[in-house]
């Protein structure tokens, strides 16, 4: 069974204090690893897709990296508006082999204080 573990569960940073979120996974036949941002009361917002080990993607203050066992979401000089829950998901075939499915971690709640 595919598993995704995110750490830490919660992270509190001061504005400008860079840090990283971790997503470790076990999956058979990884098709892609996804990062989403979720604000309270809203659906997840797509951020990045990573397909192979060594791949990196950047968007503003965020950079996602991927190894064979884990992914990191690096946040450089965060601002209060970066406060949200960050979700990691892996995509692989479902148990029946009929469709690809996303398996999500529980997320990291990031709070950036001004």
In DSSP terms, 26 is beta-bridged to 3
Give the three-class secondary structure for 82: helix
Q: Which of 43, 54, 68, 114 binds another protein (CB under 8 A)?
A: 43
DSSP 8-state class, residue 80: G
* Per CB under 8 A, 91 contacts another protein: yes
Q: How far apart are the first and last CA of the chain?
A: 41
User: Which of residues 12, 59, 79, 106 is near another protein by CB under 8 A?
Assistant: 106
Judged by CB under 8 A, which of 23, 75, 89, 110 binds another protein? 89
Residues 50-79 that bind another protein (CB under 8 A): none
Cα–Cα distance between 13 and 4 in angstroms, integer? Answer: 24
| Minimal distance, residue 44 CB to another protein, in Å | 5
- Cα separation, 111 vs 103, in Å, equals 24
Q: Which residues here bind another protein, judged by CB under 8 A?
A: 4, 31-32, 34, 36, 41-46, 49, 87, 89, 91, 94-96, 98-107
């Amino acid at each position: 069974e595919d598993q995704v573990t995110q750490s830490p569960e919660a992270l509190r940073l001061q504005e400008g204090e860079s840090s990283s979120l971790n997503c470790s996974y076990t999956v058979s036949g990884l098709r892609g690893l996804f990062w989403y941002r979720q604000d309270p009361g809203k659906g997840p917002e797509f951020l990045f897709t990573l397909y192979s080990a060594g791949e990196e993607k950047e968007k503003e203050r965020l950079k996602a990296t991927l190894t064979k066992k884990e992914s990191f979401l690096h946040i450089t000089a965060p601002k209060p508006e970066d406060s949200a829950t960050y979700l990691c998901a892996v995509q692989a075939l479902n148990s029946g082999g009929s469709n690809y499915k996303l398996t999500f971690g529980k997320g990291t709640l990031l709070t950036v204080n001004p």
